Amino acid sequence: MKTLNELLRASAARHRELCPRQVLGVRMGMLAGVLLALDLPQVDKRLLTIVETDGCATDGIAAATGCAVGRRTMRIEDFGKVAATFVDTATERAVRIVPRIEARALAREYAPEASSRWRAQLVGYQRMPDERLLRWDGVALLTPVREIVARGSVRVRCEICQEEIINARQVMRDGMLLCRACAGQAYYRPLGERASPACLADRASVHDL
């Protein structure tokens, strides 16, 4: 395990400066390694991390664990919470870690020299013991790890849009093999025209009015 300072520097390299939520993310990742008895940051793909928010804490978790979206060892389930579940894919043991609500106020006790509340959190979160900073619970995933990770080599084609689907993310609907978008789970709405840069700019300006 790298030191806290080494991991904080790795996280800060992704930002203009280090912030309290990055510290929380790093501390959460470090604790996960202890609780699951894993050597982190990992160089393999044994640990899977499911993060419940995007942003600064996620970068701290990535720095501490070695998990990354591009390596298929990190997933974002955006619940708007600074929380994450860490899963040992070899044993399927999982632990969910979240900062304690009271840690924000307690930070001042550990950084009395801090000139602001933000600075107190930045420094205090680095000094606080795990049990005062974080709360953790063993959990069981509702979806088996093998289904979350799936098979990266599987490729199928959606019967409606004809786009390729990888990682076994297809959906069967009324006997048809579909992508999630065509199955009604889309996060976008087609405009019904081929988009060009000018078209996209015009659309953006209309919605900005």
What are 7-39's pLDDT values in tens digits? 999 999 988 889 999 999 999 999 999 999 999
Structure confidence by residue, pLDDT tens digits, 92-126: 999 999 999 999 999 999 999 999 999 999 999 99
User: Which pLDDT belongs to residue 206?
Assistant: 46
Q: Rounded to two decimals, what is the model's pTM?
A: 0.84
Q: Which domains does the chain have, with CATH numbers?
A: 4-148 (3.30.1330.130), 150-208 (no CATH)
User: Which pLDDT belongs to residue 97?
Assistant: 98
Q: Nearest-CA neighbor of 64 among 80, 51, 78?
A: 51
Backbone dihedral angles phi then psi of residue 86, each to the nearest 5 degrees? -110, 125
β-bridge mates for residue 155, sequence order: 166
Helix locations, the chain, DSSP H? 4-12, 20-35, 56-65, 103-110, 117-127, 130-133, 145-149, 197-208
